[in-house]
Amino acid sequence: MQHRCVLLFLVLCVSLVPCASAAEFQVNFLKKPPVIIYNIFYEKYELELDLNITEVAPESPDGKRKVTGLKVIPEHGMQNQDFGATVLGRVSSDGASGKLVFVCRTLRRCINIRKKIIDDPLFIQQAVQFAPFGFQGPIPTQFGAVRSASGPAPVAEVVFQRHLDNSLSFAQNWHGYVKGFGDPNGNYWMGLEQLLAMTKDRNCKLIYEGVQINGKVLRATFKGFGLHGADENYKLVLGDQEPGGDLWRKLAARHNGMQFSTYDADNDRRQAGACTKDEGNNAGWWFNNCHYLNPNGLIPTSSHSNCWDYCSTFDANEKWVCIKSTKLSFSCS
């Protein structure tokens, strides 16, 4: 009878692969802050945490292992509804990286989860386990469940704009700039609605980083960054530049208090014409009459005498310079 039980156990192991007690893969959070994006396809807000997936057991003689999916198992009796969001895992095509994703019913829910993770980065490490699945050779396989050995990094800077090239047009309409567009890892605009929610009633700084045509990096930080609501067309609040910045000291005063404008919503102070059309290549921005900073303008392919018509800024020497890539981010205390 004992032999029959052992034989039956072996048959079950072969048919249900795997039967190993040890985890074959380790899933760890990268030291990157959580990012909130708006998924245009699903029309939902998502909070993402980057993961690294590594094989920790020797390669099986039965065939090479590859992870194709990641099941998320809430710990300590928690369920998805305890987070107030659907929790799932996504895996890259090579199986070496992935994301822990919270699909939120509202933006506020994602912000609340993000705040909890920022306040206690170990919370999420302790709250979930990961069960990778994929293939061992040609055989579909569920690998052993693991908990991350480390938590995500606290938030330092949150990127809300990235302009790398002209492959994605920043000549978007009002709706596009309010809701956001692009890829957070490429050309990207977070969205005024989300930017307002993430900075409201907080002490925030704006960080500008631009790369000139010659490769020189310009960087500046501005105090007191925030927005007013939709009823004021997301009016910009921007304080003085901190010492040591590479931009013109009067730049903040030029744009502080300006309402946001797009090619179909002219809210600038220009009496004749519209800044976004006349000097902004139809890109949206907090134009005055018109700008000392134009990060969403068309990226120039070479130095131009009329840099103000392109992605450009005033440097500390009070000269217009063409910019070939920009990144705007904020940090809040």
Strands of the sheet containing 139-142, edge to edge, are: 65-74, 128-136, 139-142
Q: Bridge-partner residues for 312, per DSSP?
A: 294, 322
Give the residue-averaged pLDDT of 191-215. 91
Give the residue-averaged pLDDT of 252-274. 93
What's the pLDDT at 258?
97
Q: Residue 130, Cβ neighbours under 10 Å: how many? A: 25
What's the pLDDT at 60?
64
- Residues belonging to the chain: 333
What's the pLDDT at 5?
35
What's the pLDDT at 228?
97
Rounded distance, CA 291 to CA 278, Å?
Answer: 11
CB 310 within 8 A of CB 281: yes
How many Å is the Cα radius of gyration of the chain? 25
Give the β-pairing of 25-29 and 44-55: antiparallel
Residue 243 identity: P
| The pLDDT of residue 250 is above 60 | yes
- Taken in order 281, 191, 128, 32, the sign of the CA dihedral is positive
- From residue 137, give the alpha-carbon distance in Å to each of 60, 89, 119, 241, 273: 9, 22, 42, 58, 65
Looking at residue 317, the DSSP 8-state letter turns out to be T
Rounded distance, CA 122 to CA 315, Å?
Answer: 42
Rounded distance, CA 186 to CA 232, Å?
Answer: 29
Q: Which residue has the higher pLDDT, 139 or 10?
A: 139
Task: Pick the range with the lowest mean pLDDT from 119-123, 287-291, 328-332.
Answer: 119-123
pTM of the model: 0.58
Residue 137: pLDDT band with limits 50, 70, 90: confident
Q: What is the pLDDT of residues 304-327, one digit of tens each?
A: 667 878 999 999 988 989 999 999
Q: What is the pLDDT of residues 27-59, one digit of tens each?
A: 999 877 787 787 877 788 888 999 999 988 766
CATH 3.90.215.10 range(s) for the chain read: 158-332
- From residue 146, give the alpha-carbon distance in Å to each of 191, 196, 265: 36, 37, 51
Structural class in CATH, domain 158-332: alpha beta
Rounded distance, CA 293 to CA 255, Å?
Answer: 8
The average confidence (pLDDT) of the chain is 84
- From residue 96, give the alpha-carbon distance in Å to each of 51, 87, 92, 185, 249: 9, 20, 7, 18, 45
| The pLDDT of residue 15 is above 70 | no
What's the pLDDT at 16?
38
Token pair recorded at residue 27 = 């899933």
| The pLDDT of residue 224 is above 90 | yes
Give the residue-averaged pLDDT of 199-227. 92
State the number of CA atoms in the 13 A half-sphere of 208 facing the CB. 30
| The pLDDT of residue 195 is above 90 | yes
| The pLDDT of residue 4 is above 60 | no
| The pLDDT of residue 155 is above 80 | no
